[in-house]
Structure 1
Amino acid sequence: MQKLRYTAFLVVSILAGMAAGTSFAQTKEVYSAELMRGLSNKGAHVTKPYITAGDRTYIVGTQNGDFPDLGSHVKGEMGGLWMAPIKLLDGFWLKLTDSDKNDATWLNDASEFITYPYGSKFSYKPVLDGIQVERFQYCPQGKEGMIITYTLANTTNKPRRLQLDFVVKTDVSPVWYSAENNIIDAPDSISWNAKRAVYSAKDTKHSWFTVWGSSVPTSGHALNVPTPTETIGLGKSASSTHSVALKPNEHLTAVFVVAGSTKTSELALASYEAILKNRDQLLREKQAHYAAIINRAKIDIPDKKLQQAVNWGKVDTEWLVSDLPGIGRFLGAGAIEYPWLFGCDNSYAQQGVVALGGHELAKSTLRTIKQVSEKTNANGRIIHEMSSNGFVGNKGNTQETAQFAIAVWKVFEWTGDVAFLREMYPYIQKGIHWLLVDQDKNGDMFPEGYGIMEVKGLNAELVDVAVYTQQALEVAAKMAAIVNDPKSQKDYAQKAALLKNKVNTLFWDETEGSYCDFYGTREQAITTTKGAIEQVQLDLEADKQSAALAKKQEFYKTLLAHLETLPAGTQRGWFTNKNWVISTPIESGIAPSAKAIRLLDKVRTEHTGEYGPYLSAVERRNMMTIATGVQAVAEAAYGRTDESLWYVNKIVETFSRVLPGSISEMMPDYGCPAQAWTIYGLAVPLVTHVFGVQPDAYKKAITFAPHLPSGWDSISLAELPVGDNLISFAVQKTGKGVQYTLNSKTADWHYTLKLANLKGKNYVLNGKTLVANSDELPIQGKSATVLILD
């Protein structure tokens, strides 16, 4: 049967531009059209979660259109309709009744789910002898509400009279980490506003409100009605009844709007009425918003699966953006369990975001992290996790303070925003003091405390903490030069050099051919190992059949026995957990080449599973996009392009495994179905290594040092924002040599093409044949074509 057509939710101009053989260089509308058409689950994964995202509201349910209890942070309550920091509804359902036959059915089992960048669609099998239904929903940008539409088609040659019962289960309740702060959920109350034909619900203890209604006249309403899916919580159910008539082969759309407020019912009602009235315009704005994101930093590469994953990665990232009143605009960590603010996750994610042109999101996210950290800690320490109610659940693991400084510098390289850098610099200075004084009790320059791997007992001088502290010192020295702080510049640069040497000597285990998990005493190694044994025991109690866990337990018991034979006070690097962060010295580029290559080969052959490095090569169970992404960046840092793309494509292999258009946090198909830091592993190796874009927006300069993978003959990157400039760059292998094409919006920038073994080669620059004097070729002007002759 022919699918229904929504005139509202596909941009006609985009579809009209599509044609067979359309190339990358054509219109923005053509480039974004493929993504704007959405992706289907093809009837699979119907009980897996999805997210319909907006920056003020979002909807989480399952891909069959239902709203079962989901999630663990607030157990069973992470699904539903949300307007951070509160939940509005547990869910909604539609019951259809044939008014002539009194035959009824619930629409709670969609046969197909399609995710669009800007919304979600559910298609149902025909019901009631020829009634076809599709549901489409979206959350407008910047609005405290959401829109649900049902399009009903009469596919018969007889007139039909239908009754629609829109049933809602409220759950006006707070986000995670509220009860711990004495914000206690209370039962809901519901009232019917006959004049406005809307329902209003309120938490009876707090000023939290939900309002909902429809574009279709209401013929009845009722409280405490049954729902097809039972949900936990203190909410109540209600239904509104709507009678409609359909002529033969006619279709109509019923619109329902849900809105909320954390202040007054009048504000919730005002939001409801404004959204209902302007719904078509709001949809067009939402589509335009996502089209602009897709068309920013447009890539064209031979690997179309990777190209698709990167483009959807831009979309997935935007799904996680939250504009939280009183807090700021920031990128949340993941849907559905972690939609709030994280320090570590964003320090990785913003490097990918800014490499794909998301300058304002990167700056606003880091500003928010800094402001919340300053309010919470005041001493330079960067928070780990803040719930959407503004409460901080973890004041910060040690490495996050160093990572923040690195992320700020990366964003500055792309934006050249000196005001932003000056704003961040004083708190970064405090952070370095916190790392090297407060967290370095023995004065060896290795800060103590938990790092990325939150493993029981692993509270020591960790490799990721040491490496990122060294990198923080390097970038802080560069910041000091920009803000005219020569004393700090010299101090930070000297300490960075010293710490680099200490990491490469004290953390390196020559026998293992690897950097160690941590540096410390025999006693610390014993404590860490005992903590690992306790953690494994807890895991085994939950999964007694796991052979991998049992093997891991034996490894640690054997290791503990060995450690206890060593002399007391023995101090060295310890290779205990074999965690993926042993690659951070290579990711950062501070490892000597011989050590880097040796460990890269070791990780690939000994520590890697089907989708990249194991989180722990002892356990050999779990893999995550961030670990695989870091390994891809590590390979790229040492010029191993094909090896880097091997890891990148391991991430790509998991694309759409659970949620169409997205990549799960835990590879290949569990954890959060959308995760912010995945963009790090997709964008950074591609943009900064394969395309070789090395920005210095402050000096209005860009170096291009491209590395084409084996089998790639051409690549192009168009409309990439760098500072106030917009550049396009392409590489094309030809019969005469390799051609490099550059175009930019602004004339007063300086460009350099950097290629290995370029010196002495003949090249043609804008039609003139010359000889390269070095491996770096300066390029002037807004556009240039360089052909390096074979």
Structure 2
Amino acid sequence: MYESRWTVNAGRVLLLVGMVTNLAANLLFARGQQPASSSRTEAILVLDTETFAPHRFIAVHGRRSLIQGYVSEGMEVWAYPFQILSGYSVAFRPQGSTAAINGKDLLSRVTYKPESVTCTYLGPDFIVRETLFVPLDHPGAILSYSVEGAKSIDIEVRAIPVMNLMWPAGVGGQSYAWNSSLSAFVLSEPENRYSATVGSPDIVAHDNPSNSAIHDASQAGIGLTLRPGHSGIARLFITLNSPHADSGSLFNQLIRDRESLEAEAATHFREVTERDLRIETPDSEANKAIAWAEIAIDQAWVCNLDLGCGYVAGYGATRGTRRPQYEWFFAGDGMVAAQGAMSAGDLAQARAELEFILRYQDRKTGMIWHELSQSAHFIDWGGKYPYMFVHVDVTFQFLGTLASYVDASGDSGFANQHWDEIEAAYRYCRSVIDPATALPRIPADKEGGNEQDRMSDDLGLSTSWVTASTAFAHLATITGHNSLAAEASKASGRARNSIGSRYWSSETSFWISGHDLSGKDMAEQRSGPGEALSLHLFGPEQTSVVLDQLASNSFQTDWGTRGIGAGSAGFDPDSYAKGSVWPVGTAALAETFWSEHRPVSGLSLWMTLLPLGSLDSPGHMPEVLAGNFYRPQIESVPEQTWSSAGFLDATVHGLLGLQVDSINNHLSFAPRLPANWANVSLRNIGVSHNSIAIELHRKANGLKLTIENPGAPFKFDFTPDIPLGATIGQAVFNHRPIAVRVENFPQQTEARIALDAPHGQSEIEVEWRGGVSIVPERPRPLLGDPDTGIRLVSFQLQRNILTLIADVPSDRNSHVGLQTGWTIASVQGVVAQTLEDSAIDLTFAASPAGSGPYRRARATVEFKP
């Protein structure tokens, strides 16, 4: 899934007056900055940076407009589909001074909220707080400047007027003029259809546009001076005006309604956190990452008056000719975002995204589109440009996503309403199936998920066919198309039977990612698609071998999973797609490990994602990281929607094991929590129009689960992890004994309970005896760090002996934790230290004489019977 788009897509030392700081740029989450009355929501969603990092990305998002960029390079303002300004910068001139101080030299702190960003500038004897805000549903922006100091401070603004369409469309002949009645610059284009307004009642001076033959390059663009009044605040208002509309209409509305617009945006994001799935854990970093993932998905929802509303792929500064990264529509990215919205419980938005995707389906072929620029309305996007219908894999992905929505929502009416489009998409998928293999081939004029290599077929696409045909069969059954359901089920079965032999290399004991145009095996060893393992498309032994390799240091880093293993043909850790680390791929592989009963590996990968929300744009996860050092890859977009969505998916479906089937009124909860988490609670779980809450409390030898069900009874499966090798003592449901089935796997022991959850409050209590839990080391890399963490490749408990296989760094000690009430009899290959609360630390000693940065280590721990 994370390879469905491979398009090519950040030094600044800030001088604080009187001091120079070289402190590392670390994210401080709302450290004591909230007012005394702050709620839990405010504490989680207010993020602060101090000692501002080089190229720290800033973005403020609305449905129809955006402020974004890097202060060092100047901010940009968009009102879709137009870029209004670029190079926006500020300087501050104290009263009586002949020189202004550049704002970027004074910037010392940035405070992020979902609805606004505040930049704090520290001058010699003054402080200016610049708050960037865009209304939720209006094409405009408001920039406020609050000044504190002994002297009056003027704010000098410079910007480049653009007033042009997003790539690739464009208009020419733009001009700008001063409108004294509005106290604003009006930007326009020759046909006078579109215009933008930039101004304020607080402007005391401005440039006068002239037609002079001589221009001062340092004074390019437009300039204006704001002077705060008695309130100490000055504001600048920017609007994109409707076609042929008065240039002052929306401008005056923003001035008049500013307070209500700010309140509306703040209320919206507060409601998002109260409405969506609410997860609380003992880990504050995890709580922030989860809450901000939900916010990031909501912020990606964009409305274009000509095209409609949908998820954009991300946010990043404009590159080239008005091509921001990635503030336009990709159906594949949108479906990952829709899956994230479903995980958050925002089914209405997921449905709206599917509607948006269907709106532009190819009516002739049934193919789902790949890419849609926000300026597509102005050009022949689908005819003269080669981007819209290029990726064959997106149509396969669509069927699986739509089936997920129907199951989660119970909205079978959606499938009935769009049955013709659904069947057309299925027919398109069938049209590229090779009868000889029962698997898809990539047409000569199309691409699969990998844009870097020309391929005739690939494992990811073939796996997607198994998923798509199964999903279509399910949808056909729900909607009463039984013959089509039978046909699709047979197709899925034939594909399943074909994949194992076609995509397995006995020479490398690893899967084959695909075949080139001549039919030759691709030599690269790729880390996906993990879904091929979750679907059991290979044999048990093959699956185990691949999972061991994927858990090794060849693929794993302290910040996620490499797309291509180190040492593999084609590996390049600095590249965009051949050895770099994609958070969405890390999240997907974590889900695979959890589904294949390797919860420690799943947890280890999930933990690498937690720090990413502080790497560049606070609260948001980047597109891609380098494969050798902890840093964004040079082409990476700072706010990538599917990175946040993938993390949320992995949290909900992997870590928590939460699955909602509203079609069958069924909820599954299979938590695979860290052994040191004593509790977790979930609110707003939507099951068949009911809102369910569950709360789990754990102790050394048992757990208690409380279920709050305000509606009708539902089917409930509870499958918690218990310590490896533990046995069940007793289990009760509402104080009555209940049956528990224990299942043992090499790396997991789980207890299975199935029941009907009645109306009201219910309780499940389970007690166990013995067992051991593995506690993986949590990575905390700093920018520029190489990979130094331990990689637990595999382990198993046979009777009373625990065997661990790990890749450990040669130049330092490495640690694995155990949590157990058992007593150690002996160890080999490690040093064991007993700590408090039944904790044990296992140390793998450094071995500097090793031949490489990592070595394979084996350890055994024997417990007293």
TM-score range, shorter chain: 0.7 to 0.9
Cα deviation for residue 630 of structure 1 reads: 1.7
1 CA distance for matches of 2:728 and 2:561? 41
Distance apart, 1:648 and its partner CA: 1.4
Match of 2:543 among 596, 602, 615: 596
Partner residue of 1:34 out of 40, 43, 65: 43
Alignment gaps of 5+ in structure 2:
1-15, 17-29, 317-324, 574-579, 626-630, 742-751, 769-865
Q: Is the 8 A contact 1:654 1:669 kept in 2?
A: no
* Equivalent residue number for residue 264 of structure 1: 244
Larger deviation: 108-117 or 632-641?
A: 108-117
1:104 is aligned to 100
In structure 2, how many angstroms separate the alpha carbons of the residues matched to 1:760 and 1:242?
Answer: 71
Structure 1 unmatched runs, 5+ = 2-9, 19-29, 68-78, 179-183, 526-573
* CA contact 2:369–2:394 (8 Å) conserved in 1: yes
Structure 1 match to 2:180: 194
Letter in 2 for 1:656: S
Deviation sequence 1:669-724 (CA, Å, 0-9, x none):
24011111113432223212332222111232212233333333322212233452
Which residue, 44, 53, 56 being the options, matches 1:45? 53
1:460 aligns with one of 448, 456, 459: 456
TM-superposed CA distance for 1:456, in Å, is 3.0
Displacement of 1:120 in angstroms is 1.0
- 1:520, distance to aligned residue in structure 2 (A): 7.4
- Residue 325 of structure 1 aligns with an amino acid whose one-letter code is L
TM-aligned CA distance change 1:725 to 1:145, over 3 Å: same
Structure 1 Cα separation of the partners of residues 35 and 715 of structure 2:
38
Report how far residue 599 of structure 1 moved: 0.6
Instruction: Decide whether aligned partners of structure 1 residues 288 and 749 sit closer, same or farther in structure 2, where only a CA change above 3 A counts.
Output: same
> Quick one: which of 584, 589, 596 aligns to 1:631?
589
Contact 2:448 2:461 in 1 (8 A): yes
Kept in 1: contact 2:666–2:716 (CA 8 A): yes
CA contact (8 A) 1:210 1:265 kept: no
**Structure-2 change in CA distance of 1:113 and 1:411 (3 Å):** same
Select 2:562's aligned residue among 614, 618, 626: 614
Q: Shift in Å at residue 592 of structure 1?
A: 4.0
- Determine if contact 1:222/1:240 at 8 Å carries over to the other structure: no
Query: Is this contact kept in 2: 1:632–1:685, CA < 8 A?
Result: yes
Question: Residue by residue, what CA displacement relative to the aligned partner does 1:572-622 show, whole Å, maximum 9, x if unpaired?
Answer: xx2422233343302445444432222111122233344333222331411
| Residue aligning to 1:544 | none
Q: Distance in 1 between matches of 2:215 and 2:467?
A: 55
Indicate the percent of aligned positions where both proteins have the same amino acid: 16
Which secondary structure does the structure 1 equivalent of 2:674 belong to?
coil
- Corresponding letter in the other structure for 2:765: L
1:396 aligns with 2:393: no
Count of residues in Structure 1 that have an aligned counterpart in Structure 2: 685
Equivalent residue number for residue 317 of structure 1? 297
Pair 1:471 & 2:467 matched: yes
Q: Among 280, 291, 297, which residue is 2:259 paired with?
A: 280
Could you tell me whether the CA contact under 8 Å between 2:584 and 2:642 is conserved in 1? yes
Change (3 A) 1:730 1:768: same
Q: Do the aligned partners of 1:147 and 1:256 also contact (CA within 8 Å) in 2?
A: yes
What do residues 142-187 of structure 1 show as CA deviations (whole Å, max 9, x unaligned)?
Answer: 1110110001112x3xxx4554444332100111222xxxxx3313
- Asked if structure 2 preserves the Cα contact closer than 8 Å seen for 1:515 and 1:582, the reply is no
Q: What is the SS of the residue equivalent to 1:453?
A: coil
Could you tell me whether the CA contact under 8 Å between 1:216 and 1:254 is conserved in 2? yes
Residue 203 of structure 1 and its aligned partner are, at CA, apart by: 2.3
- Please list the CA deviations of residues 45-82 of structure 1 after superposition, one character each: whole Å capped at 9, or x if unmatched: 24343211111100112145x51xxxxxxxxxxx6111
Q: 2:511 aligns with which of 501, 511, 515?
A: 515
Per-residue CA distance 1:453-482 (angstroms, 9 max, x = gap): 21232x211100000111011111111111
Q: Which residue of 2 aligns with 1:788?
A: 766
> Structure 2 CA distance, aligned partners of 1:677 and 1:510?
34
For residues 426 and 233 of structure 2, what CA distance do their matches in structure 1 show? 58
SS, match of residue 411 in structure 1: helix
Which secondary structure does the structure 1 equivalent of 2:163 belong to? strand
- Please tell me the residue identity of whatever aligns with 1:212: V
Contact 1:642 1:710 in 2 (8 A): no
Tell me the CA shift for residue 491 of structure 1.
0.8
Offset at residue 116 of structure 1 (A): 1.6
CA contact (8 A) 1:727 1:745 kept: yes
Q: Are the structure 2 counterparts of residues 37 and 437 from structure 1 closer, same or farther at C-alpha, using a change threshold of 3 Å?
A: closer
Aligned residue for 1:59? 67
Higher RCO, Cα 8 Å, sep 6+: 1
- Residues of 1 paired with 2:471 and 2:729: CA distance? 35
Aligned partner of 2:415 in structure 1 is: 421
For the Cα contact (< 8 Å) 1:440–1:448, is it kept in 2? no
Q: Deviations over 1:422-450 (max 9, x none)?
A: 24443232222212224547663333253
Q: Which moved more, 1:327-336 or 1:459-468?
A: 327-336
Give the aligned partner of residue 162 of structure 2. 171
Shift of residue 90, structure 1, vs aligned partner = 1.3
Report the 3-state secondary structure (helix = DSSP H, G, I; strand = E; otherwise coil) of the residue aligned with 1:346: helix
Q: Is the 8 A contact 2:392 2:448 kept in 1?
A: yes
1:73 corresponding residue in structure 2: none
Q: Select the residue among 270, 286, 290 that pairs with 1:291.
A: 270
Asked if the contact 1:167/1:227 (under 8 Å) is kept, the reply is no
**1:648/1:161 Cα in 2 relative to 1: closer, same or farther (>3 Å)?**
closer
Question: CA shift at 1:397, angstroms?
Answer: 1.3
Residue aligning to 1:448: 442
Partner of 1:360: 348
Q: What is the aligned partner in structure 2 of residue 133 from structure 1?
A: 128
Contact 1:614 1:620 (8 Å CA) reproduced: no
For 1:230 and 1:751, the matched residues in 2 are separated by 67
> How far apart, CA to CA, are the structure 2 residues paired with 1:471 and 1:195?
62
For each residue in 1:323-366, what CA deviation from the matched residue of structure 2 results, as whole angstroms up to 9, or x when unmatched? 11132221111111111111222233322221112222222122
Q: Find the aligned partners of 1:513 and 1:35 in 2 and give their Cα distance.
A: 45
**Bigger Cα displacement from structure 2, 389-398 vs 135-144:** 389-398
CA distance in 2, matches of 1:151, 1:685: 41
* Distance in 1 of aligned mates of 2:704 and 2:416: 40
Contact 1:435 1:447 in 2 (8 A): no
Gap change, CA 1:665 and 1:639, over 3 Å in 2: same
- Aligned-partner SS, 1:263: coil
SS where residue 653 of structure 1 aligns?
Answer: helix
* Aligned positions of 1:407-556 closer than 5 A: 407-438=401-432, 440=434, 444-449=438-443, 450-457=447-454, 459-519=455-515, 523-525=518-520
Q: Is the Cα contact below 8 Å between 1:342 and 1:384 reproduced in 2?
A: yes
For the pair 1:383 / 2:383, whether they are aligned, the reply is no
Contact 1:216/1:255 (<8 A) preserved: yes
Structure 1 residue 114 displacement after superposition: 2.2
Matched, 1:370 2:394: no
- Preserved contact between residue 46 and residue 111 of structure 2 (Cα < 8 Å): no
How far apart, CA to CA, are the structure 2 residues paired with 1:400 and 1:755?
A: 35
1:401: Cα distance to partner? 0.9
CA distance in 2, matches of 1:59, 1:589: 46
The separation in 2 between residues aligned to 1:369 and 1:739, in whole angstroms, is: 43
Give yes or no for contact 1:343–1:369 (8 Å, CA) kept in 2: yes
Q: Is the 8 A contact 1:93 1:227 kept in 2?
A: no
Bigger fraction of residues in strand: 2
- Aligned counterpart in structure 1 of residue 81 of structure 2, from 59, 69, 85: 85
1:46 and 1:63 in contact (8 A); partners too? no
CA RMSD of aligned residues (A): 3.0
Q: What CA distance in whole angstroms lies between the structure 1 residues aligned with 2:344 and 2:716?
A: 19
Query: Whose helix fraction is larger, Structure 1's or Structure 2's?
Result: 1
Distance in 2 (alpha carbons) for counterparts of 1:95 and 1:227: 21
